[in-house]
Amino acid sequence: MTKNLILIIFLFLSTQDFGQTSKSPIILPGIGLGNIIIESSTLDSVIKTFGENKIRERSVKGCGTFGDGPCGKENYVTYKKKGITFLCQPKMTDKIVRLIIIESSCEYKTTKGIGIGSVKSDIIAAYGQPVSDATADNDLRMEYDGITYFLDKTSQGKVIEIFISGPQ
């Protein structure tokens, strides 16, 4: 039922004009990016959508009693020029996208116009107060259901990175 609802929302949103070019995927908090759906799409479907690329693998730490043990291998695909990385969860061999990271060179936005370069007041006006927020070093993190915005305190509080995850 939930996946069907997500698909209906995706199909509706993909036919709307939100000021982006028709080839620009839309950031969908808690759902995905364009037709790439968190917890459903594979890295192979990412490559079909965004173009030829190599699926890479890296070791991930942070598991174990003290968060210092190895978790295993994590598969990912990065499109540096587009500013997008698609990640699979460590220890999973199905290559299902679990997290999408949007970085500084990405021009894609949410249906409410929020993307890289947006400021805190824009995010709050669009989505209300975050579920949680935290400050660490030079970054401010604003977390909502299915999306986290990272703002750089040294650059007038602009969004520098976005994590799109499944709904909490």
> What pLDDT sits at residue 109?
96
Task: Tell how far CA 115 is from the center of its chain.
Answer: 11
Q: Is the pLDDT of residue 165 over 70?
A: yes
Ranges of H-type helices in the chain: 2-14, 43-50, 120-127
* 21 half-sphere exposure, CB direction, 13 A CA radius: 3
- Decide if 83 contacts 123 (C-beta within 8 A): no
Q: Is the pLDDT of residue 139 over 70?
A: yes
Task: Tell how far CA 133 is from the center of its chain.
Answer: 17
CATH of the domain at 136: 2.60.460
Predicted TM-score of the model (pTM): 0.78
State the residue range of the domain holding 57: 2-165
Instruction: Name the pLDDT band for 53 (thresholds 50, 70, 90).
Output: confident
What's the total number of domains in the chain? 1
pLDDT tens string 5-46: 444 444 444 444 444 444 678 999 999 999 999 999 998 999
> What pLDDT sits at residue 18?
40
